[in-house]
Amino acid sequence: MTLQTTLRMALAAIALGIAFASNALTYATTTDIPYYTGNDEYASERCKLDIYYPENASPDCPVVVWFHGGGLTGGGKFIPSELKDCGLVVIAPNYRLLPKASLDDCIDDAARAVAWAFEHAAQYGGSPEKVFVAGHSAGGYLTSMVGLQRKWLRKYDIEADSIAGLFPYSGQAITHFAQRQLNGVSELQPMIDEYAPLFHVRKDAPPYIIITGDRNDELYGRYEENAYMWRMMKLVGHPETEIYELDGYNHGDMAAPAHHILKRRIPDILKKHNNQSKQSQ
């Protein structure tokens, strides 16, 4: 994708955002809502989320669960400014981090937060039938793991295929480098095991929209592993896998333009699936 194309998409998404905002919605933010109720002190500390929502909307708004990046070892929850004031309910969870927690804990927290979104979205004007999951870097990795490997959400009685769409931004498609480092494996030594989204490619997954920065400016070959992920999803027969490469944007600064792709594709996905539902009736 060229930079010119990216800018055209961004302008279209801005126009779409203005259209969303034209309904005179007002927004509120509630912070530090716990989504874990147990005896693990570290989980009680980290497993909280913020939610940004339209106060006067019927429970039909799309919901975006947004996972922050930080290499699974750092970072914290935030509401991206680009996702505000455009008709979305945005849920931003914290999750436990390595090495204090295990990788299983990180993914389990992500699944628990997504399950919370399904269970509580309607209280904040969101539709449980329009829950999208997105994240940048480590958050993109968690997006893919929760959406592709069904066991994580099934633990909370949610089917991964109930997710309306997955949007990993520069997420790892192979086993995350933080996990490899814990096992004495270099970040430059690729590995694919059960903790790799690539291990879980399947044709019946939710719509899967991969976004990366420029292949020459990305981190550790991130574009190439995602391009392989895109190819394998296509080969197994997944009908709604797309990949966007944002020319001129590196790993850190690609998230801002990626948000515009998210906002543009959400109504496209919902419209397509609504049409499919009508045809099947």
Any idea what the CATH number is for the domain that residue 14 is in? 3.40.50.1820
Q: Tell me: pLDDT of 12 over 60.
A: no
Do the bridges between strand 165-169 and strand 89-93 make them parallel or antiparallel, or are there none, so unpaired?
unpaired
Question: Is residue 281 in some structural domain?
Answer: no
Question: Is residue 193 in some structural domain?
Answer: yes
Mean pLDDT in residue range 263-270: 98
Expressed as residue numbers, the domain containing 213 is 3-273
Question: Is residue 199 in some structural domain?
Answer: yes
Mean pLDDT in residue range 150-169: 98
Residue 281's pLDDT band, with cuts at 50, 70 and 90, is low
Q: Tens digits of per-residue pLDDT, 27-40? A: 999 999 999 999 99
DSSP letter for each residue of 230-270: HHHHHHTT-TTEEEEEETT--TTTSHHHHHHHHHHHHHHHH
Question: Is residue 278 in some structural domain?
Answer: no
Secondary structure class of 51 (helix, strand, coil):
strand
Q: Are 148 and 160 in contact, with CB atoms under 8 Å apart?
A: yes
pTM value is 0.91
Secondary structure class of 100 (helix, strand, coil):
coil
Q: Give every strand in the sheet of 27-34, ordered side by side.
A: 27-34, 48-54, 89-93, 61-67, 126-136, 165-169, 208-213, 241-246
Count of structural domains, the chain: 1
Mean pLDDT in residue range 66-72: 98
Question: Is residue 279 in some structural domain?
Answer: no
